Structure 1
Amino acid sequence: MAGGLPATYWYLWTGLLINRVGGFAVLFLSLYLTAQRGASPALAGLIVGGYGAGGIAGTLLGGVLTDRWGRRSTLLVSHFATAALLAALALTTDLRFVAGLGLLLGLAQAMPGPAFVAAIIDVVPPARRSRAFNLQFWAFNLGLAGASLLAGLLAEWSYPALFLIDAASTVLTGVIIAWKVPETLRRRPGDPAGAGPRPGLRTVLADRIFLVFVGLTLLQALLYAQTSTIVPLAMRADGLGPSGYGLVTALGGTLIVLGQLFVPRLIDRHRKDRVLAVAVAAMAAGFAMLAVADRLSGYLIAAAVWTLGSMLAAPPNAEINSELAPVELRGRYQAVFFLTFPAAAFLAPALGGVSLQAFGAGHWLIVAAVGIVAAVLHLAAGPSRERRVRRVREAETTAPAAAGDTHPHRRRPH
């Protein structure tokens, strides 16, 4: 299952897993601010919102730097900057400084995302990327589950310890990258080391085929964001407490950890647009079940269905995203793609809360309808995406020959 992937990929994968397991400080940021620093709920919300705003800026900045500086340099700067900011947060008591540090932390923690994915695309051949992204998704969820468990225990002991241990795990990831991960960005002959390619974000934003895919990913993200925003409200309205929601969340995480590694065997022989259509339709079916669910068992069955859909969607989503990006703009393409998730995190509660209040259980039929529309549009957009992917792959295979013996792996041992 994991064979055939290069060593550099596994060092990146290990760094991602360590980051996720140790990345628990932000999970308890609002509680830390109110319980330890005396912030009001409104002020804590503003500070956490500043962290989110920093994340949006950091995603775009990380994409640009990934293409200009290179993947390795962006990963190193962002990880060591994140560690310094986490340590500062552990020692800072003035809420004005905490707010500023939170904004900068959001920026620094979002920067590695495009660089991680761009580096994976650089080193993994197209035929093995589905497996690579599937393992990445599995590591992300396994690490998140571990972080949630550790965070609860550490918060009982010491909130500053949350930030300091998070900082230590971030430094460890940075050391692994500095030690074992070479620069994977191929430079064209004559390019200055820091100049990067001439095209920029305008090129990405003018790419109609890619933006259609990003829009469809946003619809899928809006569906999945219901699980952390509107589902707990619906469960409370049905008289189910936080423990019930905890079981629903735990079921999703458990299914992903146990089953995600088997997903490639199910989907690798099928067209990606069809896999995504089935996946989003399954998510729609899961949320449609909530229109009649009023007991915990109903919510658990629905959660199993929508989690299956998200598991099927993860590898082709990442693979298509990687395939549509030209070699010289991979970082910027990743950045624009990653923006769908903070956008969904904002839109889902803003629109979903109004819809739930206005339509009650009918809200879930609206959510399901959005999923069905997304599934149909995936099928309609698939052929043009595939034609575009073939052109990008042709350019990718001819680039090394045109560049000569300039690939960093040939100059620097792993």
Structure 2
Amino acid sequence: MRAWLRDTAGGLSATYWYLWTGLLINKVGGFAILFLSLYLTSQRGAGTAQAGLIVGTYGIGGLLGSLTGGVLTDRWGRRRTLLTSHFTTVAALLALAFSSDLVMIAVWCALLGVAQSMASPAFVAAIIDVTPAEKRSRAFNLQFWALNLGLAGASLLAGLLAQWSYVGLFLIDGACTLVTGILIAWKVPETLRTPSSPSRPRAGGLGTVLTDRIFLVFVGLTLLQALIYAQSNTIVPLAMHADGLSPAAYGSVVALGGALIVLGQLFVPRLIDGHRKHRVLALALLVDGVGFGVLAFADHLAWYLLAAAIWTVGSMLAAPPNAEINSELAPLALRGRYQAVFFLTFPAASFLAPSVGGAGLQYLGDAHWVVVGVLGALAAGLHLLAGRPRERRVAAIRDETSAVAEVS
């Protein structure tokens, strides 16, 4: 058991583990946004439409925060961006806890979206900085596991705390964020390297990222993957309701997926080590497609549980190589900006999946899931085609990074 744990940890640095701990604390305590719509309707007198609009400001803030965080991560540094993000988040949560005016709540909600999203590019860029290339697969696998473990903990705690006090949700969330901020201030040094060579090429900006075709193809495939997987929390509950299944049945589907990730994610590196990342991603997308394709035949809970088990395996296989490729395609001086553009795929999928998926389910019925399955197979094929050019780009970036490290 000790040998397995040692292999899983992979000799990762102390700084990585402080960042990992901060991510876990944030996720375990990050339950305020989960119950924001209920808080608005039950405690602040908002109508359903008003609550939806206010919660939507959080998503808009998230888009802005991700881009802002990416730029600041490269200019200010990882540590300073993380500290600004966490302490601003604390202020926004405190303001939300004690605000009653719906307009001000919308303002604070948007600020919360900006502040929380700023941290994502900085967290990932810092992990890349302190983790050698050969250990990043394990590092990102552990990160994905921590995020899901924290989400599972938050889901359990939030339901209990909401019965006690909605205001308490915001205060405890803020306290957890404050603890993470203090941990970063105390234990996490600045990881951004600033090469001093006068001959270092100009880094560029967001324009460089947005004209990088190989990276944008990867981002597009990640968006397709996110759109497929987002069916699980947007369209699947609608399909289950149409089949006469209760919300509790959907809860069991969600619980199964979370349990599989918490119990099985740590074993994934041993399964995929030694295999080309684009082939692992192709297999993962194909498995995802099969999982959702099964729903074309689903009319009982057992079918939905089987489908959830399949698509969860796909997401578990995809997580490490997806994050690793993302880290490898980012040049040293633009890691924050690359992470920012990459992270835009997830709020975009959160918007597109219910919009497009809802129409698909309404007009295509069960054939909607056949389409989703075909998209998974298509994405798998595209990953295989894109794999070789990505590998050549990664090799070039690796050589450039090594050269910069030698002169700095």
State if a TM-score over 0.5 links the two structures.
Answer: yes
2:169 to 139, 162, 175: 162
1:141 to 123, 137, 148: 148
SS in 1 for 2:9: coil
| CA-CA distance at 1:94 after TM superposition | 1.0
Amino acid in the other structure paired with 1:87: L
How many angstroms apart in 2 are the aligned matches of 1:174 and 1:43? 32
Match of 1:244 in 2: 249
Amino acid in the other structure paired with 1:40: G
Match of 1:101 in 2: 108
How many angstroms apart in 2 are the aligned matches of 1:166 and 1:278? 37
SS in 2 for 1:291: helix
Does residue 305 (structure 1) correspond to residue 343 (structure 2)? The answer is: no
How many angstroms apart in 1 are the aligned matches of 2:351 and 2:372? 16
Paired positions, count: 399
| CA-CA distance at 1:197 after TM superposition | 6.5
SS in 2 for 1:273: helix
Matches within 5 A, 1:63-102: 63-102=70-109
How many angstroms apart in 2 are the aligned matches of 1:101 and 1:67? 26
Does residue 228 (structure 1) correspond to residue 233 (structure 2)? The answer is: yes
| CA-CA distance at 1:401 after TM superposition | 1.2
Moved over 3 A (4+): none
Tell me, which stretches of 5 or more residues in structure 2 are unaligned? 1-7
| CA-CA distance at 1:188 after TM superposition | 2.2
Match of 2:357 in 1: 352
Amino acid in the other structure paired with 2:360: S
CA contact (8 A) 1:124 1:132 kept: yes
How many angstroms apart in 2 are the aligned matches of 1:292 and 1:82? 44
CA contact (8 A) 2:86 2:177 kept: yes
2:386 to 376, 381, 398: 381
| CA-CA distance at 1:395 after TM superposition | 1.3
Matches within 5 A, 1:9-408: 9-189=16-196, 198-403=203-408
Match of 1:409 in 2: none
Amino acid in the other structure paired with 2:269: P
| CA-CA distance at 1:397 after TM superposition | 1.6
Amino acid in the other structure paired with 2:212: D
* Deviation sequence 1:283-322 (CA, Å, 0-9, x none): 0000010000100000000100000000000000000000
SS in 2 for 1:290: helix
CA contact (8 A) 1:67 1:197 kept: no
How many angstroms apart in 2 are the aligned matches of 1:257 and 1:197? 43
* Deviation sequence 1:57-83 (CA, Å, 0-9, x none): 000000000000000000000000000
How many angstroms apart in 1 are the aligned matches of 2:202 and 2:181? 26
How many angstroms apart in 2 are the aligned matches of 1:102 and 1:190? 43
* Deviation sequence 1:125-169 (CA, Å, 0-9, x none): 000000000000000000000000111001000000000000000
Amino acid in the other structure paired with 1:316: P
Amino-acid identity (%)? 69
How many angstroms apart in 2 are the aligned matches of 1:90 and 1:359? 43
CA contact (8 A) 2:81 2:118 kept: yes
* Deviation sequence 1:306-351 (CA, Å, 0-9, x none): 0000000000000000000000000000000000000000100000
How many angstroms apart in 2 are the aligned matches of 1:211 and 1:265? 29
Amino acid in the other structure paired with 2:55: V
Alignment root-mean-square deviation, CA:
1.1
| CA-CA distance at 1:3 after TM superposition | 3.5
CA contact (8 A) 1:76 1:178 kept: yes
TM-score by length of 2: 0.97
